[in-house]
A and B are shown apart, each in its own frame.
Chain A
Amino acid sequence: MAVESDDRAAVHAEGIVKRYGPTVALDGARLTVRPGEAHALVGRNGAGKSTLVSVLTGMERPDAGRVTFGDEPAPGWGDTAAWQRKVACVYQKSMTVPELTVAENLYLNRFHGERTIRWRSLRERARELLAEYGVEVDPAARIRDLGVEQRQFVEIARALSFGARLIILDEPTARLDAGGIDRLFGKLRSLRAQGVAFLFISHHLQEVYELCDTVTVFRDARHVLTAPVAGLAEDDLVGAMTGERAGAARTARTARTAGEPLLRAEGLAADGHFAPLDLTVRAGEVVGLAGATASGNTAIGETLVGLRAPDGGRIAVRGRPVRTGSVPHALDAGIGYVPEDRHREGLILGRSVAENATLAVADQLGPMGTVLPSRTRAFARRMIAALDIKTTGPGQPVSGLSGGNQQKVVIARALAREPAVLVAIRPTNGVDVKSKGALLGVVREVADGGSGAVIVSDELDDLRICDRVLAVFHGRVTTEFTGGWRDHELVAAMEGMGSETSPGTQDTAGTEGTAP
């Protein structure tokens, strides 16, 4: 069988197909990374990046397609040790054992043929290994005492010690601060000089321009573009990700004259999640908090509804201060909450629509702490009618509803107390396209009815109904969009290319504007 792949490639994959049931996660995907290259893999959520990583690291077996490393075919499926010698992945989630020392984690389960472990020599070897790659970490320290950055260095050193010359970094900067990112990049550059290739998966285009030579864009399970980073305009890159040509203007809602301020947050801050922030939501207004995973926008939403205690700052509803960090107080003050994960926080699946919808208003359903079934049903019927929930009746268990209708029940519950402000975190997560429109319509109606709403999301569709959108990047609001914005502008802001940077900037180091 003729192998026509490039012999010089650190990894070459082509025609990769991977299906999960009816979902096609990868459809004929291809990727080539050359030795010593820093290759970026970008794409919106669901583009197929993680699946490709699983295939390239031997964790998932593709349904079709071929992977080669250098001039050799990929190891057999399940031969973990052989895969580890070819490629290593540093995941966002740490693959180290926190209670053990750095030295032991480096050589976990491969103590080199000794019958008993000689700790002194193990530490010595670990020291040499770390020194070889210039990682300044004490081999006798326990992993749990290290910071995120040092843990990543240890994982990179471990990966290299297996002999892998291709390292996949999955969102390595998501949990690092600016200094840590600088040091990580410095380390990666020096390793590249030693011939190590990197596949860098990132939501932050700024970092792609700073670190990488080549970028590959995936969209909807397909390979869209591979190009040198230098010479690729930012607009074109974002365009490839969104599938929309830059300049194709799409006007979002125009800002209307907003009413009195309903929710006001001043100097709200949570260390490690987001920087001090002022936010005002007025009557009749929907405010979007846009941001990629781990950008801090979810944390802001959770702080507003009292799930998360802030390190500083005040929240007031209709001018009355709210005790922060307490969900009951937030509810009483009039902040309704539609949680991110409806299965975990939103619904009691085995219980009926009526019970779920009235969970937050159980005190209004009968005298002296009783809950009258008749009032519960009546209340639920009103909600079912108002939100057009498709159900056989108030008594149907929520588990029997479709995703979109389940989410409507969650919103019904949040609306049951007639909140002044509704805070929804990724409200259309996992909901089909048709329900999406209906759900967002409900949120819009709530605002049009004189309340305020906040939508925390990274989905452009969710943000389109907003009057104002604040883009959050690394815990800071970088840009505010009022009135009409274009998809690629917002995506660029969420990915760390602030609007201050003029479009088309190709200088790889010239994007300090938005760095925190």
Chain B
Amino acid sequence: MTETASPPATEAVDAPPVRSRPRIDPARWRDFSLVPVIFVLGVIGFIVSPAFLTQDNLIGVIQQSTELGLLVLGEALILISGRMDLSLESTIGLAPVIALWLVMPAHGARFAGLELFPAWTAIPLCLAVGAAVGATNGFLILKLRVNGFIATLGMLTMLRGLQVGISEGRSIGNVPESFAYLGKAEWLGIPAAVWICLALFAVGGAALGYLRHGRALYAIGGNPEAARAAGVRVDRITWIVLAVGGVLAAFAGILYTGHYGAVSASQGNGWIFQVFAAAVIGGISLRGGRGTLFGALTGVLTLQLVINVMTLGGVPPLWTQFLNGMIIIIALVISRFTSGEKQD
């Protein structure tokens, strides 16, 4: 780490640019603005309850962050390229339901499937459903040019309804072993889901930072006309990003289903609010072109820690919803001032 932030731009005009000194972009610092917040939450958690700093509790918090984290990862990519997708919260429930419906035995179990495909295809099918949902959103937004907010809001409701229709409003248990494995396995004493989630964030972050198409997302979100003028295939890349968002939501559905052993009819219901809150707290701009995946990840952890500390502190369950909303607003205000930038 260097000692100073960058000099103001005016100095650079008068003096020739300094050659050797490594510079720290002030934008980099913004990504770390939630790290002290997370630290403070840890201290508060420790004071509130001795159970906070136990391995079980911390692993629990992180595991609960994985499913939300994957949704935030997908939403962050979409937001950076200047779009939004509200339907992710329905995809997390619908994709596993359709996959299981296609592979589950037609007779015997409480939930009668179609048994069209062998059980091992459940995961690829689930991911394909996610991609299809994202591609449909892309068709609506990019081909038909309808308003993205309302289109994906409509998709949210429609997909939720489709899930309820297919599953007849019930939870689906007895999921195939292969489908449940990733959600409940432990690798090196830590849930596999955590490793996978971290790996996906790392891959996503590297792609955004070091690949031509990753950088194109920032250009598209920051100034689509400039991106188009520079030869970026704006619509195609946006479409791919929407599909990737759907795939990530479907993958979150796989982990969630494995974790709890069943797909509930309300899986993911109401999550989209937390997804957006985590992304914005983590420094992703709703107007596109700004933010990093590291920031988004810290946003997720911040939210989950707050909820955990509240639970440990013995907040009456009837008040958690009120406090949840209040804390998101407080976290927004804090991150607004620690990052020093408007969250427009």
Contacts and interface: CB of A to CB of B under 8 A. Distances in A.
Tell whether A and B belong to one assembly.
yes
Interface in A82-119: 94-101, 104-105, 108-111, 115-117, 119
B290 interface: yes
B25 A100 contact: no
B27 interface: yes
B10 to A, nearest CB: 8
B25 A95 contact: no
A140 interface: yes
A101 B230 CA distance: 15
B231 A110 contact: yes
B300 to A, nearest CB: 22
Interface string A26-46: 000000000000000000000
Given A97-B226, A100-B219, A117-B211, A141 B13 contact: no
Given A109-B216, A109-B227, A109-B231, A141 B222 contact: no
A111 B222 contact: no
A135 B231 CA distance: 24
Contacts of B232: 108-109
Nearest to B214: A117
A140 B212 contact: no
A512 interface: no
B25 A142 contact: yes
A150 B289 contact: no
A150 to B, nearest CB: 7
A79 to B, nearest CB: 11
B6 interface: yes
Given A95-B226, A97-B222, A117 B12 contact: no
B23 A108 contact: no
Contacts of B225: 95
A138 B25 contact: no
Interface in A119-168: 119, 127, 130, 136-142, 145-147, 150
Given A109-B227, A140-B6, A97 B12 contact: no
Given A109-B219, A116-B210, A96 B9 contact: no
Interface in A50-105: 80-81, 94-101, 104-105
Contacts of B314: none
A146 B6 CA distance: 13
A97 B81 CA distance: 12
Nearest to A100: B218
B212 A117 contact: yes
A115 B15 CA distance: 34
Given A97-B227, A109-B219, A150 B212 contact: no
Indicate the member of A105, A136, A138 with the most B CB atoms within 10 Å.
A138
Interface in B1-48: 6-10, 12-17, 19, 23, 25, 27
A352 B325 CA distance: 43
A111 B13 CA distance: 26
B289 A141 contact: no
A141 B27 CA distance: 10
B23 A97 contact: no
B223 A95 contact: yes
A136 B16 contact: yes
Interface string B220-236: 00110111011110000
Nearest to A93: B225
Indicate the member of A80, A110, A127, A145 with the most B CB atoms within 10 Å.
A145
Interface string B196-217: 0000000000100111100110
A117 B210 contact: yes
Mostly, the A contact residues are loop
Contacts of A142: 25, 27
A138 B21 CA distance: 12
Nearest to B221: A99
Nearest to B27: A142
A147 B206 CA distance: 31
Contacts of A99: 27, 218, 222, 289-290
A280 to B, nearest CB: 39
B219 A150 contact: no
B229 A97 contact: no
Nearest to B10: A147
Contacts of A111: 212, 215
Contact of B9 (A81, A95, A109, A147): A147
A96 B12 contact: no
Contacts of A95: 223, 225-226, 229
B229 to A, nearest CB: 5
A121 B27 CA distance: 20
B172 to A, nearest CB: 42
A130 B40 CA distance: 45
Given A97-B222, A141-B6, A150 B229 contact: no
Contacts of A139: 17
B222 A98 contact: yes
Contacts of A108: 215, 219, 226-227, 230, 232
A27 to B, nearest CB: 28
Contacts of A80: 229, 231
Given A81-B231, A116-B210, A138 B9 contact: yes
Given A99-B289, A99-B290, A108-B230, A140 B25 contact: yes
A94 to B, nearest CB: 8
A318 B234 CA distance: 56
A98 B226 CA distance: 10
A206 to B, nearest CB: 25
A187 to B, nearest CB: 12
A119 B289 CA distance: 19
B13 A150 contact: yes
Nearest to A109: B230
A82 to B, nearest CB: 11
A97 B13 CA distance: 20
A98 B224 CA distance: 11
Given A99-B218, A100-B218, A108-B219, A138 B12 contact: yes
A136 B230 contact: no
Given A80-B231, A137-B13, A109 B212 contact: yes
Nearest to A108: B230
Given A80-B229, A111-B212, A96 B23 contact: no
A111 B231 CA distance: 12
B155 to A, nearest CB: 29
Contacts of A127: 17, 19
Given A108-B226, A140-B6, 8 more contacts: A80-B231, A95-B229, A108-B232, A117-B209, A117-B210, A136-B13, A136-B16, A137-B13
The 3 closest A-B pairs by CB, nearest first: A97-B222, A138-B12, A108-B230
Interface of A: 80-81, 94-101, 104-105, 108-111, 115-117, 119, 127, 130, 136-142, 145-147, 150
24 contacts: A80-B229, A81-B231, A94-B226, A97-B218, A97-B222, A98-B223, A99-B222, A105-B226, A108-B226, A108-B227, A108-B232, A109-B215, A109-B216, A109-B219, A109-B227, A109-B232, A110-B230, A110-B231, A116-B211, A117-B212, A136-B13, A136-B16, A137-B12, A145-B8
